[in-house]
């Protein structure tokens, strides 16, 4: 495993072959071998759409849960003009390429075409370049305007890899072609949050040994979020995404003086996509700190990645525990079913 050589060392190597008068002897000039890398930043792009080197209009993009990057320009040193070469001090300071070696130059776009799903967070991300079987680790994912000057065997494959929580995606540094992408990130439907209106139930009827309780609840918002990655679940399985359904409900302590309503996490909610039905793979609650008390419920369901419309059915089944006695009351009749439609 190789690490990035420091530019100071490269500069000293090059300077060692300069004469006092500033000229250089090309026959004795030290040559750069393969697998060396230097980097820098230039906020001016070195190519424009339509140039041979431009991949701005190509799918030379990567998106993850915690990063995004787009390439703008890809060169070999032989394809660059003297003006372009002169604009790269790192390349000017490096000894000429040795026999069988060429320089590959990549510049990152000033703005990525995609946003990271959960915002940029480098603690989840690892980046490296793989060239001809050799790995060169990068300290961080290349940032906007950053350029990479890589020495590689002539014609050898060279790939920029970015791994996010164990899932690596790549970009070919010769063509910009994406490799092993998480395809759901680059096609419709998208990843965001939708919401629906209020709902209420006034006839949740619970019974136990001839005694009963009737309780009601009103909530004014339900949210649906489509995700490829979640911290507690990792990456969605191939061909699937996560649908999160989040709402407030009158469960937990402090809502009713006479008892606590608990929802049935196995029977209260399911999702329809076409003729298929998906049940929750996870259901979590957190206490609501507002005066209304209650709990925020987050339900996670795996759904097909190709589907954009979902019908979510919620029936507040469960049980009611009486505060004074601790007696548990079961549902006496099935409550009204709420149906929400989420579209992405």
Burial class (CB in 10 A: 0-12, 13-18, 19+), 192: exposed
pLDDT tens per residue across span 207-262: 999 999 999 998 888 999 999 999 999 999 999 999 999 999 999 988 999 999 99
Evaluate if residue 133 carries a pLDDT over 70. yes
Closest of 124, 282, 301 to residue 225, by C-alpha:
301
pLDDT tens per residue across span 151-173: 999 999 999 999 999 999 999 99
pLDDT tens per residue across span 136-145: 999 999 999 9
Strands 158-164, 125-131: parallel, antiparallel or unpaired by DSSP?
Answer: antiparallel
Average pLDDT estimate for 264-284: 94
Q: What is the pLDDT of residue 29?
A: 55
Q: C-alpha angle 14/19/23, rounded to 5°?
A: 85
Average pLDDT estimate for 267-279: 92
Strands 211-219, 222-227: parallel, antiparallel or unpaired by DSSP?
Answer: unpaired
86: phi then psi, degrees, rounded to nearest 5: -65, -20
Evaluate if residue 5 carries a pLDDT over 70. no
- The answer to whether 262 touches 318, Cβ cutoff 8 Å, is yes
- The answer to whether 236 touches 227, Cβ cutoff 8 Å, is yes
Closest of 200, 216, 187 to residue 308, by C-alpha:
187
CA distance 112 to 135: 25
Q: What is the pLDDT of residue 86?
A: 79
pLDDT tens per residue across span 103-125: 999 999 999 999 999 999 999 99
- The answer to whether 236 touches 226, Cβ cutoff 8 Å, is no
């Amino acid at each position: 495993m190789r690490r990035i050589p420091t530019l100071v060392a490269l500069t000293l190597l090059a300077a060692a072959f300069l004469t006092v008068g500033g000229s250089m002897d090309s026959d004795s000039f030290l040559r750069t071998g393969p697998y060396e890398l230097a980097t820098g930043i230039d906020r001016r792009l070195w190519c424009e759409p339509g140039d041979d080197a431009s991949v701005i209009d190509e799918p030379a993009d990567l998106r993850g849960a915690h990063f995004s990057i787009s390439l703008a320009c890809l060169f070999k040193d032989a394809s660059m003009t003297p003006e372009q070469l002169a604009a790269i001090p790192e390349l000017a300071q490096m000894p000429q390429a040795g026999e069988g070696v060429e320089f590959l130059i990549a510049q990152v776009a000033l703005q990525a075409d995609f946003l990271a799903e959960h915002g940029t967070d480098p603690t989840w991300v690892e980046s490296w370049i793989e060239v001809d079987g050799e790995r060169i680790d990068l300290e961080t994912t290349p940032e906007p305007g950053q350029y990479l000057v890589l020495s590689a065997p002539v014609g050898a494959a060279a790939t920029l890899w970015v791994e996010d929580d164990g899932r690596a995606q790549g970009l070919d540094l010769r063509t910009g072609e994406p490799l092993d992408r998480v395809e759901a990130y680059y096609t419709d439907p998208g990843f965001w949050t939708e919401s629906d209106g209020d709902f209420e139930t006034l006839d949740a009827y619970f019974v136990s040994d001839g005694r009963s309780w009737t309780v009601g609840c009103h909530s004014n918002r339900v949210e649906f979020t489509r995700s490829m990655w979640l911290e507690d679940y990792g990456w969605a399985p191939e061909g699937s995404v996560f649908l999160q359904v989040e709402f407030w409900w009158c469960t937990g302590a402090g809502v009713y003086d006479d008892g606590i309503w608990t929802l049935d996490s196995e029977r209260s909610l399911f999702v329809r996509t076409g003729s298929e039905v998906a049940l929750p793979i996870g259901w979590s609650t957190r206490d609501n700190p507002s005066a209304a008390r209650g709990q925020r419920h987050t339900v996670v369901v795996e759904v097909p990645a190709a589907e954009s419309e979902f019908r979510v059915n919620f029936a507040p089944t469960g049980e009611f525990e009486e505060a004074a006695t601790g007696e548990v009351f079961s549902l006496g009749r099935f409550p009204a079913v709420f149906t929400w439609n989420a579209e992405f």
